[in-house]
């Protein structure tokens, strides 16, 4: 039997209310020992899902008044009997209430332990748990849409349908292997191939959503580069909406690489603002390290925002940047800055290595410069036909790789059928494909994988 766990489930700090969650067999009885309803009755006399007002006791003293709600097994977040104690939201008072619960016999919950129990008790699939993990960290409206309950349900339903189709196929194939003389299978060979092809298309469709899902959830590693004074920090600040980087007129001010996750349109940018790469950076060792780091970032980034100053002719510093990014693997957007000034730069001197080119001015309406950039990035990294409001969208690398495996195995099964190989050759591939799909919702997944997922949650979730 699982022990009773407890933790403060609201964020640390001062607030109106704090909630201490207690979960496990006996959680109701344990809570009734430290909580006296104001009515004088026992907490256990009240029905579940009923808000009961009363006093919280610790070492025989009333330490606070608050409200307790009990949830019965099967109707709580974890699936176990749960008590939720709402007390006053001070740091010390919520910790004292937690201490009272621990003194009554509960153990402190580890990170993500409530959600892990929900998963173990079948209240959540792993896909849903992953989405909840992301929801807690969400920084953009698209991330919220991607991970909120309706989107979680859509993905869960599609994966369940794929699983159900593969299970039905396998059942039919086994029936035909075991009783070849009887007409038991639901599917003929031809029907099996067409059903496999249909399931394969469903799997492929889900796989195709990952590019967009990943850009929204995990984000794209991006780097801003350009010679000193071209407007890198200004752009960085425009995207971040605050003055994070120092904007000055002195070349070489941005010495280190700042990196932050910032929402831009639909996607998240994991954005680095790099030191200006330029020849003769002087002997300043700090600046040299900054430049070295910028080079590394440029070669590994998925997106390079290369800035050129429209108000100045292309010079050797710009050419160095061009050479630096020419061989890099990421998508490249050419951003012509200071569009509010007279245009001097000869655009024909810029090589044809960019996926998009746009002009911006920090002086124009902020939203205009940003929306031009965000449109260009969305076009490069997302599929506009995929909507987080209506589609099932895959956003985790783990789910994506399991789907790819499932698709390959279904392909092999189709080939085996088409080549007229014996039934059991195809059935073992379908069985493995089913295993890959079962990994997605966590029906068959290694403990190390679930450990990794739940360790990313906070205590209290």
Binding site for ligand GDP (CB under 6 A): 226, 228-234, 247-249, 253-254, 276, 337-338, 340-341, 361-363
Residues 6 or more apart in contact with residue 275 via CB below 8 angstroms: 252, 254, 255, 256, 257, 287, 290, 291, 293, 294
Minimum gap (Å) between residue 314 Cβ and ligand GDP: 16
Minimum gap (Å) between residue 239 Cβ and ligand GDP: 12
Q: DSSP letter for 349, please.
A: G
- Tell me whether residue 225 or residue 268 sits nearer to ligand GDP (CB atom): 225
Please state, as a whole number, how many other Cβ atoms lie within 10 Å of the Cβ of residue 175.
16
Report yes or no: 38 and 54 within 8 Å, Cβ to Cβ.
yes
Strand order in the sheet with 356-359: 258-264, 267-273, 220-225, 303-309, 331-337, 356-359
Minimum gap (Å) between residue 392 Cβ and ligand GDP: 41
**Burial category of 154 from C-beta neighbours within 10 Å (exposed 0-12, middle 13-18, buried 19 and up):** middle
Minimum gap (Å) between residue 162 Cβ and ligand GDP: 49
CA dihedral (45, 48, 50, 53) in degrees, to 10, reads: 50
- Tell me whether residue 214 or residue 332 sits nearer to ligand GDP (CB atom): 332
The conformational region for residue 196 under phi > 0 = left, psi -120 to 50 = alpha, else beta, is alpha
- Tell me whether residue 125 or residue 237 sits nearer to ligand GDP (CB atom): 237
- Tokens 């349900």: give the residue: 153
Report yes or no: 376 and 333 within 8 Å, Cβ to Cβ.
yes
Minimum gap (Å) between residue 2 Cβ and ligand GDP: 55
- Tell me whether residue 102 or residue 362 sits nearer to ligand GDP (CB atom): 362
Minimum gap (Å) between residue 338 Cβ and ligand GDP: 4
- Tell me whether residue 12 or residue 241 sits nearer to ligand GDP (CB atom): 241
Report yes or no: 408 and 297 within 8 Å, Cβ to Cβ.
no
- Tell me whether residue 168 or residue 370 sits nearer to ligand GDP (CB atom): 370
Minimum gap (Å) between residue 255 Cβ and ligand GDP: 11
CA distance 81 to 44: 12
Minimum gap (Å) between residue 440 Cβ and ligand GDP: 44
CA distance 150 to 430: 30
Minimum gap (Å) between residue 244 Cβ and ligand GDP: 12
**Residue 70 has which token pair?**
């009990």
Residues 6 or more apart in contact with residue 441 via CB below 8 angstroms: 125, 126, 127, 156, 159, 160, 163
- Tell me whether residue 252 or residue 460 sits nearer to ligand GDP (CB atom): 252
**Residue 35 has which token pair?**
């909580």
- Tell me whether residue 276 or residue 442 sits nearer to ligand GDP (CB atom): 276
CA distance 50 to 146: 32
CA distance 74 to 117: 12
- Tell me whether residue 62 or residue 363 sits nearer to ligand GDP (CB atom): 363
Which residue(s) pair with 333 in the sheet?
Answer: 305, 356
- Tell me whether residue 146 or residue 277 sits nearer to ligand GDP (CB atom): 277
Minimum gap (Å) between residue 221 Cβ and ligand GDP: 19
Minimum gap (Å) between residue 235 Cβ and ligand GDP: 7
CA distance 413 to 419: 10
- Tell me whether residue 318 or residue 439 sits nearer to ligand GDP (CB atom): 318
CA distance 419 to 112: 48
């Amino acid at each position: 039997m699982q022990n009773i766990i407890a933790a403060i489930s609201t964020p640390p700090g001062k607030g109106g209310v704090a909630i201490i969650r207690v979960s496990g067999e006996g959680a109701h009885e344990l809570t009734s020992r430290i909580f006296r309803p104001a009515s004088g009755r026992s907490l256990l006399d009240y029905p579940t899902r009923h808000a009961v007002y009363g006093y919280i006791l610790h070492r025989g003293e009333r330490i606070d008044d608050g409200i307790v709600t009990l949830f019965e097994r099967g109707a709580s977040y974890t699936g176990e009997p749960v008590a939720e104690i709402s007390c006053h939201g001070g740091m010390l008072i919520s910790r004292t209430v937690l201490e009272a619960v621990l003194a009554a016999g509960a153990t402190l919950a580890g990170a993500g332990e409530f959600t892990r129990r929900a998963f173990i008790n079948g209240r959540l699939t792993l896909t849903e748990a992953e989405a909840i993990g992301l929801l807690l960290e969400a920084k953009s409206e698209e991330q919220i849409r991607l991970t909120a309950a309706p989107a979680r349900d859509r993905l869960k339903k599609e994966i369940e349908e794929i699983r159900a189709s593969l299970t039905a196929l396998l059942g039919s194939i086994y029936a035909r292997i075991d009783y070849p003389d009887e007409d038991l299978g639901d599917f003929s060979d031809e029907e099996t191939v067409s059903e496999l092809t249909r399931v394969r298309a469903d799997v492929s469709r889900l796989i195709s959503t990952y590019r967009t899902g990943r850009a929204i959830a995990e984000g794209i590693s991006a780097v801003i580069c350009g010679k000193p004074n071209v407007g890198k920090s200004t752009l960085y600040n425009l995207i971040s909406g605050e003055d994070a980087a120092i904007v000055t007129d002195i070349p070489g001010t941005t010495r280190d690489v700042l990196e932050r996750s910032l929402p831009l349109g639909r996607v998240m940018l994991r954005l680095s603002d790099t030191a200006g790469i330029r020849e003769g950076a002087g002997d300043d060792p700090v600046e040299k390290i900054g430049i070295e780091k910028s080079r590394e970032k440029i070669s590994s980034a998925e997106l390079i925002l290369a800035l050129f100053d429209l108000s100045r002719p292309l010079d050797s510093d710009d050419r160095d940047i061009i050479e630096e990014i020419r061989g890099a693997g990421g998508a490249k957007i050419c951003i012509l800055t200071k569009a509010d000034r007279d245009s001097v730069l000869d655009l024909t001197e810029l090589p044809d290595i960019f996926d998009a080119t746009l002009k911006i001015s920090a002086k124009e309406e902020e939203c205009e410069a940003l929306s031009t950039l965000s449109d260009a990035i969305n076009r490069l990294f997302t599929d506009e036909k995929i909507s987080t409001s209506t589609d099932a969208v895959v956003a985790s690398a783990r789910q994506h790789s399991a789907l790819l495996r499932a698709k390959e195995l279904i392909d092999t099964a189709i080939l085996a059928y088409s080549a007229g190989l014996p039934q059991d050759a195809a059935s073992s591939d379908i069985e493995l494909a089913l295993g890959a799909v079962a990994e997605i919702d966590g029906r068959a997944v290694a403990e190390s994988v679930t450990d990794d997922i739940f360790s990313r949650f906070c205590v209290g979730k």
